[in-house]
Chain A
């Protein structure tokens, strides 16, 4: 999972609770990594958020990861400290809208969110207001499927508590208090992401099979398809390996595997 957070004060409680450690040498952005999670502090604004996504994507290019923009937002209705999921993210400048699919059952409220270049002086509608989310959505959709791109915000200001009165020294505490409701969401999102990631064992086995013989690119394509089918049809890997090892040429290997699979190509 990749988390994009604008400010250090927002990130600190997350870094602590997720046991992330600072990666040395990441000059462009402060980057914190853990076993299953990377967190980048992007800085404020759309261009910084977008650049952070691209940086993280290049650094961790695995497909089908979850991407979350997490941080503070103003809100026209929700109370300070309340967290919400963005169900619609509108870009204040381009007018483009993003609709992060809401597949996860969560106790977090959901709300529309308007992203603008400059902070807004008031809260004209009962929606959220921030400065990063639309750019994050636009960039993240080149990295993963839309269901795994989510925006979670914690309300830092509202009409009764305008942004000018926000006490920055309370920022970390505000985020920390919101985490008990955010963590279960992140865990479910991670689980969702795992459903679209091919099993590592199969990917490793396919790579291992490629190394058994000098297959051409076309043959590798055929072999990958056959090994995926073998997996779908319940053929044990050791059986497939034995066929490939015992056949003579690369062509024979593919032919033999196809022949053996033929007997299994029936629905049970």
Chain B
């Protein structure tokens, strides 16, 4: 019988705010991070909206406490800010922090800087301050950068499974704790907006030029977002021994593959169904015990159909509350899993379900509607959080009140 894994710290930066309290107050008051792109230099500023952190890199460096910040990509800065908040909220000492593992996710890492200086970088006759980014183009770099800043050396890993990445970091962290490879682990993901992703998703024709509408019959695609979120995980006994404040329990998780298509989910939701089932079985909970699903709900034609069908199959008629919070944060890709885990924990802490904004019409294939307005004073004890990615990866977390 393995021990319970608990969450003892969390940090988050997104278009909703620079920390968890700011994010919560935005979510509860219905304020979203949706808007025009103002910081990233892109030809699509006028045509493609996004959920941007409205801080320049210089401002982020200051907030992160690395004013000179040479070589810090925007992804690294977002990661460091959220990881620092997570460590602070877990109330662990510098020594305890140094003994922690660190698992971070990204789909782009330093690509934002690489694309900005690409031709200069390729021309050996050019030099300049851009050379600080000569070695930051690989996705694992941000993890090492943050680990170095926090003094972590014990176990450092970077995961990239597209849009399910940071959910997989959380799962791996829990497994390392259960196997007693670590006593504490900081897990999550970070993603900066880039022309690379905007144009990639635009080319795939899955970006909505308006505000995204998850699970709506007239949904037109996703909106991209940026940010970072990290959790601190510990075994329950370790956390209790040091008198830590326990934010939630990670009661289950599941990872599967849809094995259907590189960039599309199966219409029958096979992978999604399997990862949800795995998480539920591990948690030992009954379907009735699940109060709320924080859906992946990207608002693409394909995801919402596949995920919706899987939810419908799994709960056959007696559905828990469902909402996608992507209309608040945008799709932050590799950071989405940990960000939505943090939002799920806010749901458990405050007993409030955040609405699925912009929903008006039921999808013809589905027999359920998501929650369209803020649900307060609900008894929410167990939350399923889904994250699905390109490459067919499907991951589900079960977070429960402690």
A and B: real partners?
Answer: no
